[in-house]
Amino acid sequence: MPEPHRPDTPFDAQGAALDEAVVTRTDPGRARSLSSDAWHDLRRNPVFVISALLIVFLLVIAVWPSVIATRDPLYCQLSRSLEGPAPGHWFGFDTQGCDVYTRVVYGARASIAVGVCATLGVAVLGTVVGGLAGFFGGFWDALLSRTTDVFFAVPLVLGAIVFLSMIKLSGIWPVVLVIAALGWPQIARIARGAVITAKQNDYVQAARALGASNSRILLRHILPNAVAPVIVMATIMLGTIIALEATLSFLGVGLRPPTVSWGVDISAASDGMQFRNAPHILLYPAAALSLCVLAFIMMGDAVRDALDPKLR
Amino acid sequence: MADTTREPILEVRNLVKHFPLTQGIVFRRQVGAVRAVDDISFTLYPGETLGIVGESGCGKSTVAKLLMNLERATAGEIFYKGDDISKLSGRALKAVRRNIQMVFQDPYTSLNPRMTVGDIIGEPFDIHPEAAPKGDKQARVRELLDVVGLNPEYINRYPHQFSGGQRQRIGIARGLALNPEIIICDEPVSALDVSVQAQVINLMEKLQDEFGLSYLFIAHDLSIVRHISDRVGVMYLGKMVEIGSDTAIYDHPTHPYTQALLSAVPLPDPDAREGRERIILTGDVPSPANPPSGCRFRTRCWKAQDRCAEELPLLAVPQRYADADTAVAHDSACHFAEEKPQVTHA
């Protein structure tokens, strides 16, 4: 594949910087951080643009579902149970006679809320544990890493099923908490590795030689240079966590009716008989779920490519 | 020039650093130690440049890290103006760090890629608010950029937008920010092109005159060390083998290792090459985890005798030159220290 020439790529900026004469002639005020370089690359990456647009769209309908769905997702007419697509009801009706389109749109809220909150919890918990383990090393590393291994040994789905079937609370928070409590080891391992790599750089030694405190070294020098792989992993995990929420709801331990979510609807539609007679009630929420998961995973991939210094 | 009649600004006494070698995963036990720095003493006077040379792995960089308290010494003392700083911690250590700063070897990893030049050079002021300029910090950072020969308008740029030589200037500006008295330079130019090396060395000499700095200059390039140093110490396998003024070391070396090092320096003049004897050492540097008994250099030395294996030579003026009044009378850790005139054209 021919390499398209992009005059503003950081490669050229670095090449120019090697030649002092060129640098002196360019505008000296022009500053470019690594993240602005990454953003510059991302804007030109079609995979990122498509997935970002999709995610923005999903976020908008998660916050204001009424923008594109005017009906009430809980208004159902049993008389129209399992009816196919009709004018004004393009996705048809489910077993209870509710409008599938409205429920798919409203389902985004619960799914994305669980995904975003659980991912935030996982990222914060994992970064703190992994970061402290990597930074302090020795005893703390051994303690925190072995704790991580213990949590890592618990299968996420199985652990979530056990805890959620014990808790028996409704709403999204139990699901969020259980996923956050069980999902962080993956992030912790990545954060630990990234912190250990960043810790060995000379600029950390330089900061120490200046007399910088541990918290300053961690927050100003190590974290900004170690956070990229965590962001990437978290973005990809967001997709899998949304899928996990659907899995748990499908198994009857995650979100429960009357909460509207894709997983709940997939679960309700997954009776074999119904699928043969009315496949639309399964296909539409499943398609929405796949699209959402795919969007987050694609975005994570694109961000990883942009932040990877080896590709610069 | 150095004023050796004055009090030393930095005095290192019997400095030792052993890195433990451990075995086992659960029950770690120490099976040995890498003797990176083994009983080294030297002094640094105000306004002086002390060069430290030696091949890779001889412990030069460990000495720098020990002086900066980035590694804790196993034994020995480091006196800064008469106070032992090797055991300080916390606030007292932070206060000392204002006066001893470091320039790192690799300009590509010694600057945080996510901070602007202004933040990098201004960070010392954030860490030491008592040393920060009253009022405009930015103005002081611009001034520092100007001092090291960079355009002050570059203040908002990031390190990856600069060349190696420019980055090293940024590193020097960061070292200068707190107005230190001592700067420890750990191979500051070995990662740079030869033409850029000269620029950076000249800048460092200019700054020394301007601010009265003392340098501890660690390098493996003998000609650069000769150019910048007032005194030179030669290290081999964690030991200081010879130390003296630059003329003493370069023109009158008495330790066989120094002689071998100098004879390996390439000469640009073919006629001078004719009359010179090249000393070619055999064998490799022994492992610092298991150094030879007695003199560490004896396994590769052409003068070695039984005495060398039994008795550790002390770093002192050799007896044969004890009464000499010339540069040849300098400290050399060899039982058979003697000048070897054929090698001194470095």
Pair of tokens at residue A67 = 């923008």
pLDDT of residue A32: 62
At A37, which helix (H) or strand (E)?
helix A34-42
Say whether pLDDT at A27 is over 60. no
Stretch A147-171: mean pLDDT, rounded?
Answer: 87
User: Cβ of A14 under 8 Å from any chain B Cβ?
Assistant: yes
pLDDT digits (tens, 9 = 90+) for A95-112: 777 888 888 888 888 888
Helices marked H in chain B:
60-67, 90-97, 117-127, 137-147, 164-176, 194-211, 222-228, 246-251, 256-263, 270-274, 306-310
Binned at pLDDT 50, 70 and 90, residue A150 comes out as very high
Q: Is B157 on the interface with A (CB under 8 A)?
A: yes
- By Cβ distance, the residue of A34, A205, A225 closest to B70 is A205
CA distance A289 to A302: 20
Q: What is the pLDDT of residue B230?
A: 92
Average pLDDT over residues A145-151: 92
- What SS3 class is residue B171? helix
Residue B221 has pLDDT above 50, yes or no: yes
* ipTM for the whole complex: 0.83
Q: Does A216 touch chain B (CB under 8 A)?
A: yes
Q: What is the pLDDT of residues B251-279, one digit of tens each?
A: 888 899 998 888 888 877 777 777 777 78
**Please, which pLDDT band fits residue B174 given cuts at 50, 70 and 90?**
very high
pLDDT > 70 fraction of chain B, expressed in percent and rounded: 97
Is residue B167 a contact partner of residue B145, using CB atoms and an 8 Å limit? no
A202: contact with B, CB 8 A cutoff: yes
Q: Is the pLDDT of residue A81 over 80?
A: no
Long-range contacts of A171-174 (CB under 8 A, 24+ apart): A171/A255, A171/A259, A172/A110, A172/A113, A172/A114, A172/A117, A172/A255, A172/A259
Local confidence band at B107 (pLDDT 50, 70, 90 cut-offs):
confident
Q: Looking at residue B34, what DSSP letter applies?
A: E
**Is any Cβ of chain B less than 8 angstroms from the Cβ of A283?**
no
Q: Is the peptide bond prior to A258 cis by the omega test (within 30 degrees of 0)?
A: yes
Mean pLDDT score, A166-190? 88
The alpha-carbon gap from A188 to the nearest alpha carbon of chain B, in Å, equals 22
Nearest CB neighbour to B110, from listed A28, A206, A213: A206
Lowest mean pLDDT among A34-38, A65-69, B90-94, B252-256: A34-38
Tell whether the model's pLDDT for residue B170 goes beyond 50: yes
Domains of chain A by start residue, with CATH: 46-311 (1.10.3720.10)
Q: Are B103 and B32 in contact (CB under 8 A)?
A: no
* Neighboring chain A residues of B165 at a CB cutoff of 8 Å: 20
Tokens 């030297």, located at residue: B42
CB-based contact, B153 to chain A, within 8 Å:
yes
Mutation choice for B interface testing from A23, A139, A200, A202 by most B CBs within 10 A: A202
Q: To probe the interface with A, which of B72, B98, B123, B195 has the most A CB atoms within 10 Å?
A: B123
Interface of B with A in 233-262 (CB under 8 A): none
Size of chain A, expressed as the number of residues it contains: 312
DSSP state of A107: H
In three-state secondary structure terms, B185 is strand
Flag whether residue A168 sits within 8 Å of chain B, measured between CB atoms.
Answer: no
C-alpha dist (Å) from residue B88 to B62, B71, B79, B91: 18, 12, 11, 9
Query: DSSP string covering B198-238, please?
Result: HHHHHHHHHHHHHHT-EEEEE-S-HHHHHHH-SEEEEEETT
* Structure-token pair, residue A162: 């056990």
- Whether residue A24 is predicted with pLDDT greater than 80 in this model: the reply is no
